[in-house]
Amino acid sequence: MTQPLEGRLVLDMSRVLAGPWAGQMLADLGARVIKIERPQRGDDTRSWGPPWLEDRANDVHEAAYYLCANRGKQSLAIDIAHPQGQALVRRLAEDADILIENFKVGGLERYGLDYATLARTNPGLIGCSITGFGQDGPYAKRAGYDFMIQAMGGLMSVTGNPDGMPMKTGVAITDVMTGLYAAIGVLAALDERSRTGRGRYIDVALLDVQIATLANQALNALVGGKDPDRHGNAHPNIVPYQAFACRDGYLVLTVGNDEQFARLADLLGKPEWRNDPAYATNAARVTHREMLVPMIAECLLARDRDDWLSEFERCGIPAGPINSITEALQDPQVQHRGMVTQLMRGEVPIPQVANPLRFDGATRTSQRPPPSLGQDSDDVLAGMGLTSAQIAELRKQGIVS
């Protein structure tokens, strides 16, 4: 089966999460992705453990963090601070379709590896730079990290309990969303290049992405003229749409329209709520949430969680259990869809979470496991025409590993 990006070459000069996430997406779609890493150290996330991947002899290898974002790639460990290392990357860039990097603004210029320089010899090259704050503006020179951006970008202000401290999300969601936006930009530039023959330079900033993905909450502030409140596990615009306690656990009830609420009222033995002007419409329920929600909560405490979930499903009322991550990964639907898989590196199984995209019913998850540091250096360099003696000399000098 052909892959959507088959034949495309990507140089992934990024590290940590946002850039590698974009590179992994392109690898899953069939591109050849060469991950440029520092000799000896590699991507920072290789050491961000525990937990660690161990081989059959229980020797520690990479951290789980690294393994989540580098499937499908080749690892070329090369010292770009050395002129010979720079020359090798420039040679690769001559044939590349895409460059992904997350160096600080101007960071690659001193090596002669910035997009403007590389595009002079390869005008069809598509460059994607991922930074905390973008290529211009008063914060352009600052480093940016997901947690900090969640704080600065307003996400934490609407996350957490109303009477508690603002909270970050449990996943580095700004990094992940930035990686997805970056991949979208690259794919759009590829489509345009098919018509014009010219590449594009794409500037993606974590803060920009965080502001963009505030979604309804940003418009709540702009239209409403005031900051949205924190609602904990409740929704600012829909009621009831939150977590509730049952007799033996917790569930989430997500009533999205008035018809679903009417069925909920009947199920809870409160048919009078159907036509009560305080509850009959979503706008009314939002206004009177402090009256309605405690009454729903009292009803749900009368039965076990799974009993309620069965009843909700029977009545067509959207709801779900609050699972742990392990429970979520073991969920029958998740298992059926093949979202949990593993790839083999030699005799070592590497757990993976699959790419959620399916084309014509088939997964787009690369079958190439995340590479060990420098795993593919010899193959990549030999493919560029270097002899084994030349590669050995580069390794002796510490330029590659």
Measured in whole angstroms, the distance separating CA 171 from the mean position of its chain's CA atoms is 9
Please count the CA atoms within 13 angstroms of the CA of 218 that sit on its side-chain side: 11
Question: Whole-angstrom Cα distance, residue 29 to residue 13?
Answer: 18
List Cα–Cα distances, 221 to 154, 162, 167, 227, 311, in angstroms. Answer: 11, 17, 19, 5, 37
Alpha helices in 29-130 (DSSP H): 64-67, 83-95, 115-121
What 51-56 contacts at long range (C-beta under 8 Å, 24+ apart), as own/partner pairs, is 53/348, 53/350, 55/347, 55/348, 56/347, 56/348
Residue 227 corresponds to which tokens in the numbers above? 């900051």
- Selected catalytic residue, list 175, 306, 331, 376: 175
Place of tokens 């989540």: 68
Residue 162 corresponds to which tokens in the numbers above? 């109303």
Question: Whole-angstrom Cα distance, residue 228 to residue 396?
Answer: 59
36 with 80: CB under 8 angstroms? Answer: yes
Closest CA to 17 of 64, 70, 61, 53: 70
Question: Whole-angstrom Cα distance, residue 288 to residue 167?
Answer: 26
Does 307 participate in catalysis according to the annotation? Answer: no
In the DSSP assignment, the letter for residue 35 is E
List Cα–Cα distances, 72 to 54, 191, 270, 366, in angstroms. Answer: 20, 22, 54, 5
Measured in whole angstroms, the distance separating CA 359 from the mean position of its chain's CA atoms is 20
What's the CA dihedral at 178, 180, 185, 189 to 10 degrees? 140
For the annotated catalytic residues, the residue numbers are: 175
